[in-house]
A and B are shown apart, each in its own frame.
Chain A
Amino acid sequence: DSGVTQTPKHLITATGQRVTLRCSPRSGDLSVYWYQQSLDQGLQFLIQYYNGEERAKGNILERFSAQQFPDLHSELNLSSLELGDSALYFCASSPPQGRVGYTFGSGTRLTVV
């Protein structure tokens, strides 16, 4: 157990639908990062939150959004799903600035049919 919890582990949904992926960071970590891993794109950074605020954006589609709540857990919302959104979605967390470390969750495998 890495300390970063992602739910659900697997998700199968139809095109056009909306899903929410959840991430609870390791205790004490303030940053949450979301990554998408697909066969053709590799590990792509989507978005980072730090203590509730959006810190950085990567290759995140407009159909995707995220937020980090006061208890520091984060949710990634994927809407109007397409077949190409099928991928493994990872969440990682890191401690406050000045300390270095990234811990990954075990991921959510999303299959869009």
Chain B
Amino acid sequence: AQSVTQLDSQVPVFEEAPVELRCNYSSSVSVYLFWYVQYPNQGLQLLLKYLSGSTLVKGINGFEAEFNKSQTSFHLRKPSVHISDTAEYFCAVSSNFGNEKLTFGTGTRLTIIP
């Protein structure tokens, strides 16, 4: 069975400051990892995904994440946040078959302070 832990339920950050949203996973098999963003009253949008290869993954809107197998982590980072980054961020994991359900973390609410 797989599980995802998002260590922070809420993260307030000043505008133009860097941010890191933490995600740890557990799985007995190889995994695929994802970050999704949900803006207020909207659906889930894929930010980035790790399937294989380079452990540093770049996504949309200036976000990137680093896969660390030894620490079973997939933290999301952005060097300088904008007001428009205010949203809920979800980390998710899927099995190595890639055709099985996504298991989501509980989400991190990112609030940008002007």
Contacts and interface: CB of A to CB of B under 8 A. Distances in A.
Interface of A: 2, 31, 33, 35, 42-43, 45, 48, 50, 55-56, 58, 90, 92, 94-107
Given A97-B97, A100-B51, A100-B94, A106 B102 contact: no
B34 interface: yes
Contacts of B100: 48, 55-56
Interface in B36-81: 36, 42-46, 49, 51
Contacts of B42: 106
Interface residues of B, number: 22
B104 interface: yes
Contacts, number: 57
Contacts of A90: 43-44
A73 B69 CA distance: 37
Interface of B: 32, 34, 36, 42-46, 49, 51, 90, 94, 97-104, 106-107
B22 to A, nearest CB: 17
A97 B98 contact: yes
Contacts of A56: 100-101
A42 B51 contact: no
A44 B43 CA distance: 15
A104 B32 contact: no
A98 B97 CA distance: 7
